[in-house]
Chains A and B, each alone.
Chain A
Amino acid sequence: MKPVERPLELFFAEPAVRPGAEPDFSGLDLPAAGSLRRPPVDSPAEEMRDMAFGLIRLLDDDGQAVGPWADTLDLDDAARMSGLRHMMTLRAYDARMLLAQRQQKTSFYMQHLGEEAISCAFHLALRSGDMNFPTYRQAGLLIASGYPMATMMCQVYGNDGDPVRGRQLPVFYSSKSHGFFSISGNLGTQYVQAVGWAMGSALSGDDKIAAAWIGDGSTAESDFHAALVFASGYRVPVVLNIVNNQWAISTFQGLARGGAGTFAARGLGFGIPALRVDGNDYLAVVAAARWASERARRSLGPTLIEYVTYRVAGHSTSDDPSAYRPSGESACWPLGDPLMRLKQHLIARGLWSEDRHVQAEAEIMGEVQAAQKEAEQIGTLHSGRRPSPAEMFNDVYAEMPPHLRRQRQLAGY
């Protein structure tokens, strides 16, 4: 008998809920803090498949750091306290720059709200001379490395203090000395460049490593695949970071995976050991990042790390997330607020208090406002001192070719 045939159909991955519905994170499997093992750094990828599907978490609900990753975490109290301070600074900086954009002092801004732990903590895994290849949402790397905040603001304003001379969109920072590679608007491109940088280091007999950064959505770009092929093939000393904040502008993270597996699991097919980490757990990020950077430094090859977090704010100042997700969704995010969780840990450890926190918030806001004043004394997008239009023609090439000289003259400079 002829089987009953149905017309072919496609699967369209969709988020669990849309605006107007109750937030639902029941699909997110949350293992208890401390429940995942800590394999030796020289473990082959095929012997640690569990790490790509579990979740490395150190901080439990009481703010205690527990389990094998916490037990081996060499992080003194001062470092834990400055971790909190870095996250608070990044949040305060974001708040002020968001306001500055609304006041039309700049054209555009992108916040880190809810993702502060990842870039602030990852900084602790790198040494001076190592190089990050960040996206537009890892400014915590700059904050934690002591990069001058007034200079960051000058970049956002595109004023005469902007190191990249008003040529890039706001938040597209660049600092070689702080291990922060130039940000590009083209997504994913830097992921494979990080691999090349680390290959250059290894070919030169250097001891420097690179860190690549990408969001969940951009893993769908071909550059992600190319980076993994090269990183795996040449056993490149690079840490391949994926920040899974659940949202790529309006599309939910499952779309980039076709709804299957985890982002960390993508590493396994390339023979790359992969860790999946609670991205809102500052200590978990430090522990995983150090594990991966040690692998890289010992020429054991690359590591893929997926940080599970949530993009609390809109994608950018040009985005309104209430158009595509429930407005209360961030408040229901099961991994909480990275800043509050580290704060609770410090209080539980007897290092911090609610009073000191309030005091620190005021201090930090004072620092941010002082930096803002310093930057605005130079100028904002529409006022004050801007780079000379003559500078538009510089740095296209090392030496200005004749046709550009003519155009500069034609422009009147």
Chain B
Amino acid sequence: MPATTMIDAIRDALDVALTDDPTVTVFGQDVGYFGGVFRCTAGLQKKHGIDRCFDTPISELGIVGVAIGMAAYGRKPVVEIQFADYMYPAYDQIVSEAARLRYRTAGEFTCPIVIRMPTGGGIFGAQTHSQSPEALFTHVTGLKVVMPSNPIDAKGLLLSAIDDPDPVIFLEPKRLYNGPFDGHHDRPVSPWRTHPMGEAPLGRYLVPLGQAAIRRKGAALTVLAYGTMVHVALAAVEETAIDAEVIDLRTLLPLDLETIVASVRKTGRCVVVHEATLTSGFGAELAALVQAECFWHLHAPVERVAGWDTPYPHTNEWDYFPGPARVAAACRRVLEVQ
């Protein structure tokens, strides 16, 4: 049966990878017998054996450090950090080791690992179950950083990440695990099976890393988004009837600059949207690139819509989360500039 949620799509990708490549090894906290707190590895241990999919002690640095050694040996570890908010103990291993191993050995040792981590807010997860730390990875040379926004991409991107010879940080917006979310928290959420990108095909297929996808063609302005914010952006432009082009970046590093530049040179206006906090967020890099590459085509300053520069709150989640109203307001401001 084709996968009809992002959870199923991720599990399906892992299943395909485990089946096709005997060196693929899946591990992390609660991922073995129990099948993961989000069910992304359910049934994999039973199907592939405890030596292919196993539980680890609660030690993020241990999980990643062990994965790096295992990759240096010649296996293909696909590990899970239960929440992106808990990756910090592993940050030294990720930045100083995984990202640098190929470079510092001139290719003698390499680190083809995938680190999956559920990310993002919109679930009343508060400070330590809602963070979007992508900018802490995009700033690191040697890493690739990926964030899917739907089940078809989730499976194809994860399979590409597993095939990739370099370390990949695979950020999974947990708000999108069971269905698309456009930021309208007061409305019922529809399941993935009613969405055109909601059903991931059976078997192996790849969505290439480093390629953005245009989710909505438009001429008035360009919206750059990824993860949950793709759906928020689409809702905002539909509701305001603004003819915006919405680009889902999919891979943040390396970035598909070509698609971005072609769009902004066409529209002359750009809004960057992300859940992560504003200051030094990935949006700053996007805005800088757009102004450098599209300076003579821009009709208005590049706007950024992001989480406020505060820790992620619990009670005030919907005052914090950059929902469709804030995205729409930014789009209108950008269009007002003549």
Contact = CB atoms under 8 A, between A and B. Distances in A.
Contacts of B208: none
Given A181-B72, A193-B65, A197-B73, A229 B59 contact: yes
Given A164-B106, A397-B102, A397-B142, A196 B68 contact: yes
A381 to B, nearest CB: 17
A401 B254 contact: yes
B75 A200 contact: yes
B310 interface: no
A164 B69 contact: no
B97 interface: yes
B97 A184 contact: yes
B65 A396 contact: no
A230 B96 contact: no
Contacts of B106: 163-165, 167, 394-395
Contact of A403 (B25, B75, B100, B254): B254
Contacts of B127: none
B210 interface: yes
Contact of A182 (B56, B101, B210): B101
B59 A199 contact: no
Contact of B103 (A201, A226, A396): A396
Contact of B104 (A131, A184, A195, A201): A184
Interface residues of A, number: 46
A168 B65 contact: no
A198 B74 CA distance: 11
A396 B257 contact: no
Nearest to B254: A401
Given A163-B108, A182-B108, A395-B103, A189 B65 contact: yes
Contacts of A247: none
Interface in A134-172: 163-165, 167-168, 172
B27 to A, nearest CB: 9
B210 to A, nearest CB: 7
B2 interface: no
A237 to B, nearest CB: 12
B51 interface: yes
Contact of B102 (A201, A233, A398): A398
Contacts of B57: 226, 229-230, 233
A227 interface: yes
Nearest to B75: A200
Contacts of A203: 25, 51, 70, 75
Given A203-B25, A396-B142, A403-B254, A210 B69 contact: yes
Contacts of B89: 222
Contact of A223 (B65, B75, B257): B65
Given A167-B103, A181-B109, A396-B141, A403 B257 contact: yes
Contacts of A287: none
Contacts of B92: 186, 189, 223
B105 interface: yes
B139 to A, nearest CB: 13
A97 interface: no
Interface in B56-85: 56-57, 59, 61-62, 65-75, 77
A373 interface: no
Contacts of B73: 131, 196-198, 200-201, 204
Interface in B207-228: 210
B65 A227 contact: yes
B61 A192 contact: yes
A197 B57 CA distance: 17
Contacts of B97: 184, 186, 189, 193
A175 B257 CA distance: 37
A194 interface: yes
B166 interface: yes
The 3 closest A-B pairs by CB, nearest first: A196-B69, A200-B73, A192-B65
Interface of B: 23, 25, 51, 56-57, 59, 61-62, 65-75, 77, 89, 92-93, 96-97, 100-110, 141-142, 144, 165-166, 210, 254-255, 257-258
Given A204-B73, A229-B62, A402-B254, 7 more contacts: A164-B108, A168-B104, A193-B97, A200-B69, A200-B73, A396-B142, A401-B210
